[in-house]
Amino acid sequence: MAFQPANHFVVAGKGISALVDPAGLGGQPVVTLEVDGYAVEGASLTETPIGFEVVAVVSATPDLQTVHLRMVLPQVNLDEEPATFVGFAVLATSRTSIGGAGLLEGPIHLYELRPVAGTAAAVNF
């Protein structure tokens, strides 16, 4: 019996919510993402050897910091019913200075790991 790959992921976690469709309308990936209550535009989706990776710039403040998100979700095969899954997201804060990294004391990059979980389903677009 062959299983059907999930093509619709509903994701929630600590301050993160997303809808991820690896092959949405027209076959193009569609990602709707919120981090800490703010909509994040321009998220990309890539299929990798470790699952689906969602990558986005969450915020950018010149001469202060840029916050990037990388979220990893598993590929899921389904019989007929939706399935639950777990994944993770990393919020990476890159501290910046108009004068260059040499003017910053301490770590230049800070990482926050956030668990995510959700439901994977097969839907017809």
pLDDT digits (tens, 9 = 90+) for 47-60: 999 999 999 999 99
What region, left, alpha or beta, does residue 111 occupy, with left being phi > 0 and alpha being psi -120 to 50 degrees? beta
Asked if 116 and 89 touch (Cβ cutoff 8 Å), the reply is yes
- Which positions of the chain have pLDDT values less than 70? 125
Identify the pLDDT of residue 75.
Answer: 97
Q: For position 99, what pLDDT does the model report?
A: 78
- The reported pLDDT for the residue numbered 122 is 92
Q: What is the pLDDT of residue 76?
A: 97
Residue 109's pLDDT is: 92
Q: The whole model's pTM is what?
A: 0.92
For the chain, domains (ranges, CATH) are: 4-121 (2.40.128.30)
Q: Are the CB atoms for 70 and 46 separated by under 8 Å?
A: no
Cβ burial 81-101 (10 Å sphere, 16+ → b, else e): ebeebebebebebeebeeeee
